Structure 1
């Protein structure tokens, strides 16, 4: 099948880039208009909100060039991740973006904006962008180069059909993500209500002395959980492993694994994990690279760059909620050492103070939250399978191998 081709500059009404407000003396803020950094571009139609910050409404209006519209296609044009793309949905707006992000606003009469996004998302296109960026320490794609990129362009009906197929996967993934977010927030709200605000069942009958409800104890984390309790020797590794390193973890779950022969595994591939373990990256704790491990596969092996926490005196549900609170993250940040690569040690986890509730209350919390945490795991697995199926189809649809 032969398709026409067109340059990005010919099918776009706007090809520009973002603006960094601090360059003009305008600060970021704690709330306000979404400001999308390059880190938010994960090649997904659902931009990674951990890569968002905020600017004021007045700053947003002053940065007119980079005010985003629904259906804008975004592309990382500077840095090591040159070529990573994203797609602006109504839920992201109002929004602005920075100078490391290119903005392509497609003319609808020429092309479907989502078709252009899926072309950018194609792994072959990503490789092309990486090549355009060059091999410098700071790779860069300028706007002239971006406008000159050619893409295959079938008729609008074919574009619409391809988008309909691929977006069906993305819509299912997004629905599952919303369910996951609601389930996680429900568990966190219950944790805060019972264990932060002390409004647990029958709390009105419990006396509080020195900030501690009767029957509760002050402990340290090492008294309620073990860390790094199981590791492989090199000769003990399975013949093949599914390696989990720090880049494999995001949003409280393992988002990817690398299958490899044990003989090719890095020296850090040593940690064993069990059902209910929590893995926490030792480096840059402010990035919150942690995950709850449920139903691990036999081949799973975790990097020694993680501390693996195994609940002993408390249910895993409570341990997971405790070690992912803002106060616990703050404890790790305060104990991190090193300027360019701040890191914590396992004993920094162990020294964290814990207000330990009675066993009956812990069990009650586990009964209420474990089913939701396991459902989150199932939904996450569904999303990974949906993404794999979509990514298998994408290049074959985009080169016309599969007719629509």
Structure 2
């Protein structure tokens, strides 16, 4: 069975401002950003469907400034699309967000749906299918930067099964998404517990035996403070995979400087990296850090692979030491040179060993959860287009 199709604009709320673009660029530039206030949705808050909405990593506007952009607000149930850059990204504002409202940036589009005609979550899932993602990418109207505009968005096709069928499809896929989200949270908690132990021992200096250790200028006796650059081995140049060459699935995961831990997949065995492991991926542009303990292929531009050059510290200890550094954001500049100029402590070897045992156990559990998540996502992504097409009934 196939469902009747409508244009996206036909299922938008029939009021002025239901489909809008973000503010003009110069009206919402960085000079207006503040430390807290009304959050601005940018590309880093959207994905290709891996998550419904990334509810952190915001810049903010004052309440007064946000009032100027009331027509660019996004609230629960609204769909948000990337209009410039990584087109194909989409998000939906869920009911359990950290904020009551958001402002979309100058590179986003927002649609408010008519809930009498369509389930917003059903539509979100439709736009995350491989078919629709590619359809949007093919609509690119930009010359150097990929672009879609309001006209393109309004004309996108959407299927219209009965509303109860839409809700059943959304509920079926949500069961997978809930398991995936639960795994994501468990992984975050496991890493957080290791980070808190690192902070207690090596930042607050409340390590076992600290009561009997002399501390001079913030350095415990027997420890050493050194430049980060003196501890790093930068892994040599190998074959790297460009983002445009990523596959939806494949035998080799690609790890790059993006927010998603795994950016895509490849079948290029020449790019497979197996030694040394575990190691750390550092995003030269993004400052993202990842601890990788499985064979993978490296993303291209801006992906630095680093490893400790001394047995005095472990990759686990180095990872959390680098995570603890508040590295300034120089935007699209190369940040690795600034990272190397920072300092960190080399503790007593016994403490490093004890911390490493704890962290390594947590990372092993994280890898198991990540493998489960990949299997869940593969099953979900296989089922979704069949439900959307009516091939499988709900």
Q: Structure 1-normalised TM-score?
A: 0.81
2: distance between equivalents of 1:138 and 1:351?
34
Structure 2 residue aligned with 1:172? 179
Structure 2 residue aligned with 1:35? 40
**1:270–1:303 Cα contact (<8 Å) kept:** no
| Structure 1 range deviating more: 156-165 or 195-204 | 195-204
Structure 1 unaligned runs (5+)? 233-239, 263-268
Task: Give the total of aligned pairs.
Answer: 373
1: distance between equivalents of 2:272 and 2:128?
33
Asked if 1:246 is matched to 2:246, the reply is no
Structure 2 residue aligned with 1:214? 221
Q: Structure 2-normalised TM-score?
A: 0.83
Residues 402 and 241 of structure 1: CA distance in aligned 2, closer, same or farther (over 3 Å): closer
Structure 1 residue aligned with 2:247? none
1: distance between equivalents of 2:151 and 2:88?
15
Cα deviation for residue 292 of structure 1 reads 1.0
2: distance between equivalents of 1:400 and 1:241?
30
- Partner secondary structure for residue 208 of structure 2: coil
**2:287–2:335 Cα contact (<8 Å) kept:** no
| Structure 1 range deviating more: 172-181 or 364-373 | 364-373
**1:75–1:86 Cα contact (<8 Å) kept:** yes
Residues 147 and 222 of structure 1: CA distance in aligned 2, closer, same or farther (over 3 Å): closer
Q: Within 5 A, what are the aligned runs for 1:154-303?
A: 154-221=161-228, 226-228=233-235, 242=252, 244=254, 246=256, 249-250=258-259, 253-260=261-268, 262=270, 269=271, 272-281=274-283, 283-284=284-285, 287-294=286-293, 296-297=294-295, 300-302=296-298
Residues 385 and 270 of structure 1: CA distance in aligned 2, closer, same or farther (over 3 Å): closer
Structure 2 unaligned runs (5+)? 240-249
Asked if 1:97 is matched to 2:107, the reply is no
| Structure 1 range deviating more: 215-224 or 107-116 | 215-224
Cα deviation for residue 316 of structure 1 reads 2.6
1: distance between equivalents of 2:205 and 2:269?
50
Q: Within 5 A, what are the aligned runs for 1:39-118?
A: 39-44=44-49, 45-49=51-55, 52-77=58-83, 79-89=84-94, 90-94=96-100, 95-118=102-125
- Partner secondary structure for residue 342 of structure 1: coil
